[in-house]
Amino acid sequence: MTLETSHSRSSVGIVEKQYYTFAHPPELLVLENGAEFGPVTIAYETYGTLAEDKSNAILVAHAFSGDSHVAGYYRDDIEDEKPGWWDSMVGPGKGIDTDKYFVICANILGSCMGSTGPGSPNPETSDPYGLDFPMVTIGDMVNAQKALLDSLGIERIHAVVGGSIGGMQVLQWCVRFPEMVRCAIPIATTMRHSALAIAFNEIARQSIMADPNWNNGNYYGGSRPDMGLAVARMVGHVTYLSDEAMRRKFGRRLQDKETFSFGFNADFQVESYLRHQGIKFVNRFDANSLLYITKAADYFDVVESMNKSGPANDTRQNKIKYLIVSYTSDWLYPTYQAKELVKTLKRTGQDVSFCEIEADCGHDAFLIPDDRLSKLIGGFLNGTA
C-alpha cells in the first residue's frame, strides 16, 4: 500500500508492510518434503495501482537476506531513513514503472523479515519453532507467493523479476505456474548451485552451528550465536564482491594506523569492513533462517523441476518471454551458468533474450543503481506489455 508523502517524485513514497495468513488447519500447506505445515504468514508490500482487469501485476522476488521492502520509505519524518533495497529500480518512471505496473514483493517463507520462519512462534507451544520448523524449498516459497496472489485475485502476472535466490524463484515460477507468467527476468542467478556455491554455504552453516550459543537452534530468549552468524555473513559477503572491487575499495590499506599491530586486531581495511558487515547482519537477521534459506538454495535444481512438471505445466505449451541477465565479474553465478540456462530454455522452444553486463562489482552488481539495467528491464517490460 502506498500512502501520500513529501519524498521525491521519483520515489513510491511512504509504504506500508502488509500480512497475509493462510494454511489454517486442517487445510495446511503441503511442502515438497511431504510435510504439512500451517498456518503461514507472508509479509508483503505493494506499489502502484492494480488495473481493473488485473493485467499489470509484476512480482519482484528478493535475494537471500532481502525482504518485502523493495522500494519507498516507512516514515516521512526523518531524512536519513534508507529506502527499499531496490528503490533505484522500482518507482515512477523507473525500470519497473509503478505508474504503469502494480508491483508486489513478498518476504520468502523461512525468512525472519515478517514471514513465517524458524524464529516464529509455534502455535502448538507458543515458543519459536527453532529446528522444529520444516525444511522448505524454493518451490515451497513460490507456492506461498502463489497463495498470496490468489488472495489478491491475480490470476496472471505480467512479469516475475528477481536476482540471485530471487532469480531462482523466477525460474521456479516459470516451471510450476507457467500459465500464470507472461515474461520472466532472472538476474545474476543459476539453474542449480555449483559445488563451489554449496561449499561456501556449508562453511556459513558450520560457522553458526559451531557457535556454542546456537544450542541446536534453541537460542531464542537467551544468548544468540552472534559470532557464528557474523562469520557466516563475512564468508557470504566475500562471494558477493569481486577481486577488482575489493582491490579498488581496500587494496592492502591499513585501518586507522601506519604500521602493523603484529597481533590479531583488524590491521587491514578489508578486515575491519568484514567485521562491520558481520555485526550489522547480526542485528537484523536470524541465524536459523540463514541455515534454512541457504539449504533451500542448495537443493534448487530447475532442470529437475522441469523434468518433474506435468503436462498441465509443460513449459513447451506455455510460452514465456525471458530476459536473462548476468554480470562479467560475478564469480558466484558466472556468465557460463547463465548461458547454460539460455540453451536449456531455447531447447524447450522459449523466447529468450540474454544480456551480459560489464561490471566489476561482482555478484551484488544488480543491487547497485545502474541506468543500463534499468533501461534494459524497462524496455523489455514495455516491449512485452
Strands 36-37 and 40-47: unpaired
Catalytic site includes residue 164: yes
2-17 burial, b for 16+ CB within 10 Å, e for fewer?
Answer: beebeeeeebbbbbee
Query: Are 61 and 160 contacting, i.e. CB atoms less than 8 angstroms apart?
Result: yes
What pairs with residue 18 in β-bridges?
44
Query: Are 57 and 48 contacting, i.e. CB atoms less than 8 angstroms apart?
Result: no
Amino acid identity, residue 236? G
State the catalytic residue, choosing from 11, 68, 120, 164. Answer: 164
Sign of the CA dihedral running 330, 331, 337, 339: positive
Closest listed residue to residue 190, CA positions, set 349, 324, 362: 324
Q: Which three cell numbers stand for residue 358?
A: 560489464
Q: Does an H or E element contain 21, and which?
A: strand 18-22
Query: Are 300 and 363 contacting, i.e. CB atoms less than 8 angstroms apart?
Result: no
Amino acid identity, residue 1? M
Query: Are 260 and 267 contacting, i.e. CB atoms less than 8 angstroms apart?
Result: yes
Q: How many CB atoms lie within 10 A of CB 240?
A: 21
Distance CA(125)–CA(374), nearest Å, equals 47
Q: Taking each helix axis as running N to C, give the angle between helix 287-299 and helix 165-176, from 0 to 180 degrees, rounded to the nearest 10.
A: 50
State the catalytic residue, choosing from 330, 364, 370, 374. Answer: 330
Rg, the chain, Cα only: 21
Q: Which three cell numbers stand for residue 173?
A: 515460477
Q: Which three cell numbers stand for residue 100?
A: 504503469
State the catalytic residue, choosing from 62, 363, 370, 374. Answer: 363
Amino acid identity, residue 291? L
Catalytic site includes residue 363: yes
> What are the backbone angles phi and psi of residue 277, rounded to the nearest 5°?
-60, -40
Distance CA(337)–CA(262), nearest Å, equals 42
Q: Which three cell numbers stand for residue 3?
A: 500512502
Q: Which three cell numbers stand for residue 241?
A: 564482491
Q: Which residues are catalytic?
A: 164, 330, 363
